[in-house]
Amino acid sequence: MNANRKSQYLQLDASMSPSSAGAGANTPLSPEAAAFSRGVGFEDSKAPAAAIKEMPAPAVRAGAATGGGTGGDGNVEKGQHEHIEAVEITGTRRAWVLFTWITTFWMPSPLLGWCGRMKRPDVRMAWREKVAICVIIVFLWAVLLFIIIGLGLILCPREYVWTIDDVSNINSPKKSYMAVRGNVYDITDFIKQTSHGDAAYPARPDQLGYYAGMDANVSFPIPARAACPQLVSATADPQYLMVYPIAGTDSSNDPTTAQLSFKHSARVDPRSAELSDQRFYFNTFVPKMKKFLKGGVVWKFDWVNSMYKDQGKFWRVINKEVFNLQPYFEASNSGFNTNKKYNILDSRLEAIMDQGGYGSADVSSSWAGISWDAATKENNYNCMKSLFYVGRVDDRQSVRCLFTNYMLVAFACVLMLVVLVKFMTALQFGKKPRPTPPEKFVLCQVPCYTEDEDSIRKTIDSLAGLEHNDKHKLMFIICDGNIVGSGNDRSTPRIVLDILGVDPEYDPPNRDYLAIAEGSRRHNIGKVYSGLYDFEGHVVPFMVVAKVGTPEESNRSGNRGKRDSQILLMSFFNKVHFNLPMTPLELEIYHQMRHIIGVPPRNYEYLLQVDADTEVMPDSLTRLVAACTSDRRIIGICGETMLGNESKSWTTMMQVYEYFISHHMAKAFESLFGS
């Protein structure tokens, strides 16, 4: 075409006779317009109307798909196509394709083509890539859950342990715990049993209640000969009288040697068959109380170390096992210890246990450094474990166990810092005065599908009531299919037209256009209505495009999706801007906009897109247009989204917070980076 050629649309305007504005008014297309709708353009207006030549096809970028080609019914694997220059595939793309096939190998392509109706290889590849992205998302979820839940269980497995203070606090009739030699027992049900003691020494439930919350080591004494047969001979203790602690020794500040009212010993009741067994604790108590066992007793190392260093008690730790040897050294230093018969442990072991408060209470390294044979070491260890073991070191507050907690706290601090930064950045956007409505032409697009009449009316009324010059805005409503929504008594196009006051008897001609679809569904038919809508003193022009479908369609006729509705309008303005050929429907839209409404399409500078169930605030359009006109770099802008039913349920109440944060804080934070 010539460079000085006038706009083809001005020629089209000249070929059409102007008509008065009114709802649904139409003018027959001229021969030039009819030729133009078939894909041809005009020469200069001075040339005769018959001087028409075909418009040159737009150039295709290297590697881009073309719409050319014949046959195949939309299937790129069939038919003839223009030559397309191949673009070299990068290594990153090859790696991504390999990963995509690895994650979707279980779905064969023929099955996608048969079940998913994905005939084209590019569509099948797009499906595989989406599945691969979902796999990555699920994997990241799993990693996050592992860090939050699984990592802590691996670094610090859950243990059922209690401190002595914990046990002492569980002493009510509803729940009673007791500690014995490093183990914790739930004696709630045991106390309620009726068969306790014997005829000579009966035990009532109220008497057994004294054991609740106590460490009852002393109530279950173990003769040294029974616990350490390899270290205490029958000659040294023929009557099993050597017991730790010795009665009358000082047990102050020692929670494991509290003197209780009853001792389970043959010396108390030699007639009892159970108590006459010198190994009563091992043969009777442990098996019977096994079903009541809840866990172990733990001690904080700082407390154990304080007992040893500050109070001079013989509390020591070997490989995280806590031993209370205070009764042992009290007995060995007492007057009863003739011939050192109470010194049953190896002298080398006594030496590392009795260091006069020097060093630490943990003697694991010294224990490992003793040079003795395996049998001697095992005998001494078993003896200590049976007589003086009181629990384990509490690791629940160690770095290993608290690592995941520290990590989660660090994550929380980072999130708090991000929120704080977003809040601080949001302070730069204070309340601004309402700007003067700019004199800009704005087109308000509303795609409709199956919304009810109340929602559509609310949207249309809010657009009509916008504080913007009524002559400078156009409500452009696209009905996506001739469909009756759930709960509606009319089709969506009919609802929209009734709201706008269009005569039900008026039926405009069908206009064809190419939709965003595949195969035969690319061909679609639409009807165009236009007129003026009067709402509370506002007289606003409107245009309705109803996609009604071809005669062959019976189910959801005309429906091509919201994307098609958006592309329909944007494609129209693209052709207006570049003087490209138009489809019959686009020509009809141009005619209605130029001659019925009276505004050339080129005059519209801004497009406002809202859903059919959205209510627009009166000053929203003024503020959006003012922001765009004040900064020419803005090509798109989003207003604040608020809920109209925020008090309906707890989920909508949470959405209020999400919407507010995403608008007032997230976008303010992004603005720091120039986005």
DSSP string, 362-386: B-HHHHHH----HHHHHHHHHHHHH
Secondary structure of 591-657 in HEC code, one letter for each residue: HHHHHHHCCCHHHEEEEEECCCCCCCCCCHHHHHHHHHHHCCCCCCCCCCCCCCCCCCCHHHHHHHH
116 and 213 both lie in a single domain: no
**What's the Cα-to-Cα distance from 659 to each of 642, 653, 668, rounded to whole Å?**
7, 10, 13
Q: Are residues 444 and 508 in the same domain?
A: yes
- Give the Cβ contact number of residue 180 at 10 Å: 24
- In three-state form (DSSP H/G/I as H, E/B as E, the rest C), the secondary structure along 109-127 is HHHHHHHCCCCCHHHHHHH
pLDDT tens digit string along 343-357? Answer: 999 999 999 988 766
* Residue 334 and residue 231 in one domain: yes
Choose among 588, 558, 311: nearest CA to 449: 558
Same domain, 370 and 491: no
Structure tokens of 185?
Answer: 């027992």
Tokens of 173: 């009739």
Residues 6+ apart with CB under 8 A from 351: none
pLDDT at position 29: 38
For residue 600, what pLDDT band results from cuts at 50, 70 and 90? very high
The answer to the question of residue 650 being in a domain is no
pLDDT recorded at residue 206 = 75
In a domain, 40, yes or no: yes
568 in the same domain as 490: yes
CA–CA separation, 173 and 318 (whole Å): 37
Q: Whole-angstrom Cα distance, residue 598 to residue 284?
A: 104
Q: Is residue 227 part of a domain?
A: yes
Q: Is the pLDDT confidence value at 251 over 80?
A: no
The verdict on 298 and 317 lying in the same domain is: yes
Residue 294 lies in a domain: yes
Residue 258 and residue 184 in contact, taking contact as beta carbons nearer than 8 Å: no
Q: Taking residues 331-348, what's their average pLDDT?
A: 85
Domain coverage including residue 458: 1-45+435-636
pLDDT tens-digit map of 354-398: 876 678 899 999 999 998 899 999 999 999 999 999 999 998 888
351 and 378, same domain (yes or no): yes
Are 146 and 177 part of one and the same domain? no
**CATH code at position 228:** 3.10.120.10
354 within a domain of the structure (yes/no): yes
Average pLDDT, the chain: 82
* 675 contact partners, CB below 8 Å, separation of at least 6: none
Compute and round to an integer the Cα radius of gyration of the chain. Answer: 45
Is 516 inside a domain boundary?
Answer: yes
pLDDT in tens, 198-244: 666 677 777 788 888 888 888 888 999 999 999 999 888 888 888 88
Question: 180 with 136, same domain?
Answer: no
Among 155, 180, 207, identify where a domain stops. 155
Same domain, 283 and 385: yes
If asked whether residues 300 and 266 sit together in one domain, one would say yes
Position 571 in a domain: yes
Instruction: Classify burial at 224, counting beta carbons within 10 Å of its beta carbon; exposed 0-12, middle 13-18, buried 19 or more.
Output: buried
- What is each CA distance from 435 to 285, 346, 438, 466, 617, in whole angstroms? 87, 94, 8, 14, 15
Cis before 245 (ω within 30): yes
N-to-C CA span, the chain? 40
Give the residue among 281, 295, 321, 299 at the shortest CA–CA distance from 185. Answer: 295
Residue 426 lies in a domain: no
One domain for residues 128 and 181: no
Mean pLDDT lowest among 38-52, 552-566, 639-653: 38-52
Q: Which residues contact 460 (CB under 8 A, 6 or more apart)?
A: 446, 475, 477, 496, 499, 500, 533, 535
Of 562 and 78, the structure prediction assigns the larger pLDDT to 562
Overall domain count for the chain: 3
pTM of the model: 0.55
Residue ending a domain, choose from 105, 138, 155:
155
